[in-house]
Amino acid sequence: MRLDILYQTEFQIHTQDLSLLVNKNITAITLLNADLISAEIEIDYGFCMIELSSTNALQIKDVKIDGESIRELIYLSFLLENGERLQPRTDIKGSHHVWCMPIILPLSAFFSFVHNILPHQYLGKNLFDHYDFYFPESVKISKKYPKLMQDYFLYDSHFSIVEKKNINTWNEDVKLPFLQVHFDFDRKNCLQEIISNKKKLDFENIVPMQTKQNEIEYGLTRKWKTSYFIENSKDDDIDLLTNWRKRSTLDFTQWPFLYNLLERVPAENIINAYVAELPSGSFITPHKDTKKGKYYKGHYNAVLYLPLSCPDGVYFKFANFGLVNLQANCIVNNVNYSHAVVNSSPHDRFIISLTLLNPSEKMFSATTCIYK
């Protein structure tokens, strides 16, 4: 597939002055003249991100795919300048700028996707003032993993656009897949405490639904495991919201750092909590979580995701949205959106998941919406 970038400049541009990336992969420029940059790209379907750098200033006039113009959709493009996104921008002032153009292939899908979401009059305005954009990253994992997992992390059918809202609580109106939030705890000692007391955790009390099928279909013996240490209130309980301390399975005198973490959570209550281990080489296939029981029928809860160990090679992805930042704490919308995890590192991964009732505004006071 041919990519053409039409440009205008007062300078003479040479190939060595330019850098062209497609989904972070260096892409050779096959033709360069006074107003045209051309390249062959191997992507025929789905989302891709074009990134162009130039040591000399230039103005982008149009983008064409196999000779077809993207027309007004060029106003989705933006500049990266010292980590800041500037939009709408079609000009490169120098080497400190990276011009980024999100594209969906085929172009017919691109036009219909954008027109169905964005009001026409918004193109040409600063879209980042009105919408959160999620540009998913392509991650190439080893061919030892099932084709399903390879494709899930490498390809996306589109990027995502979500209307921007001021978030001070997490409820059914929140359409974000994940949100980085402000919550500090002693990560290092919590991890060490869990590793030291691992034999005291019951990893058989609730078996993830896909475990047996993954074993049969893929021969996966190093399985994803969960151990609930705060359990849901039972349906026959008179009070479905008993305090989390009464529903814990742990003797917290032996778990001081974990107890301190739970005490610090700014929420009315903790509905349930578990530790999850994903062994090296293991994976969790695409799925949405389910919430069963009488309580969940009438309440919407936030799931706080706390990575305890995040070695390089562990990826947690929401399809068509992107990767969760495993260096931070996030609320994840794992009930409404497809997600998957792979551990291609040589180390086991541990996380804590807390389902919270009405987290306070304090948690959202330093939020960061992640759009890659």
Cα–Cα distance, 173 to 164 (Å, whole number): 11
Q: Examine domains 2-129 and 178-364 and report if their fold is the same.
A: no
pLDDT higher than threshold 60 for residue 293: yes
* The pLDDT value given to residue 292: 67
Indicate the pLDDT class of residue 240, thresholds 50, 70 and 90: low
* The pLDDT value given to residue 238: 53
User: Percent of the chain having pLDDT more than 70?
Assistant: 94
| Mean residue pLDDT across the chain | 91
Write the class of the CATH domain 2-129.
mainly beta
Q: What is the tens place of the pLDDT at every residue in 158-211?
A: 999 999 988 888 888 888 999 999 899 999 999 999 999 999 998 877 778 888
Q: Which residue has the tokens 């060595």?
A: 16
User: Percent of the chain having pLDDT more than 90?
Assistant: 76
- Structural domain spans, the chain: 2-129, 178-364
Q: What is the mean pLDDT of residues 358-365?
A: 83
What is the CATH number assigned to the segment(s) 178-364? 2.60.120.330
The answer to whether 274 and 258 are in contact (CB under 8 A) is no
* The pLDDT value given to residue 273: 95
pLDDT higher than threshold 90 for residue 92: yes
Q: What is the tens place of the pLDDT at every residue in 138-158?
A: 999 999 999 999 999 999 999
Q: 34-43, 91-100, 108-117, 284-293: lowest mean pLDDT where?
A: 284-293
Q: What is the mean pLDDT of residues 298-317?
A: 90
* The pLDDT value given to residue 368: 47
Q: What is the mean pLDDT of residues 109-131?
A: 94
